[in-house]
Amino acid sequence: MPDFPNLLEKNRTWVQAKLSEDPDYFADLAQGQRPPFLFFGCSDSRKCMNSMIGSEPGDLFVHRNIANQVPLHDPNVQAVLEFALLNLKVRHVVVAGHTGCGGVGAALSGLEEGAVGFWLTELRELAAQHRDEIDPLPELMARANRLSEINVVAQLRNVLLSPAYLKAREAGTPPTVHGWMLDLSTGLIRELELPVDDWRREGLL
């Protein structure tokens, strides 16, 4: 991990490498953005999706927060959805959880104190709703990882319920939704099976 004074030097090295490949790289980048993907991820420092999926600047419109939440009541999250779906017209929305998520573990343990505890309120409620499935798992990490998977599906459902998605759907430009789980022990991403048939019956798709 580089010391803080070296960060800007690493930036300059990266810029020179890009310019050596394409002298117009940054001039083209500055013209505007049209990313195909909106990505909701956890703030965990180990989760660097651009590196992990080999994407470039301009490929991902990204919002990150603790435990990759997409709450319907949060204006920050809803502004991201509105801009990405209605202005940028992204074609795919990805919610990505990961193994060993500290936020999920905190919710599972019942943390209520402070700003983090408040932020995790809905995740604690989700854990309580699925306790019959989660509690029998023998290890704490297995319980947390299963809750992470459940949480990804729940947050995608929130995407489908959002005003921005409803407007995009009415306009005939709804994005496809995807649920991912990143295994930090291998670096590999697994696409989750989503309850698409249930969502169709609910009229969400």
Q: What is the CATH number of the domain that holds 123?
A: 3.40.1050.10
81 phi, psi to nearest 5 deg: -60, -45
48 included as an active-site residue: no
Q: Look up 46 and say whether it is catalytic.
A: yes
Q: Where are the alpha helices (DSSP H) in the chain?
A: 7-21, 25-29, 49-53, 75-82, 102-109, 114-119, 121-129, 131-134, 140-161, 163-170, 196-201
Question: Active-site residue 34, yes or no?
Answer: no
Do 8 and 41 lie in one domain? The reply is no
Same domain, 27 and 88: no
User: What whole-number distance in Å separates Cα of residue 192 and Cα of residue 137?
Assistant: 19
44 a catalytic residue: yes
Q: Are residues 71 and 117 in the same domain?
A: yes
Q: What's the pTM? A: 0.94
The answer to whether 60 and 39 have CB atoms below 8 angstroms apart is yes
Digit-by-digit pLDDT tens for the chain (205 residues) are: 668 888 999 999 999 999 999 999 999 999 999 999 999 999 999 988 888 999 999 999 999 999 999 999 999 999 999 999 999 999 999 999 999 999 999 999 999 999 999 999 999 999 999 999 999 999 999 999 999 999 999 999 999 999 999 999 999 999 999 999 999 999 999 999 999 999 999 999 9
Q: How many structural domains does the chain have?
A: 2
Domain boundaries, position 137: 34-201
Q: Which of 22, 28, 34, 46 is catalytic?
A: 46
Let me know if 63 is a catalytic residue. Answer: no
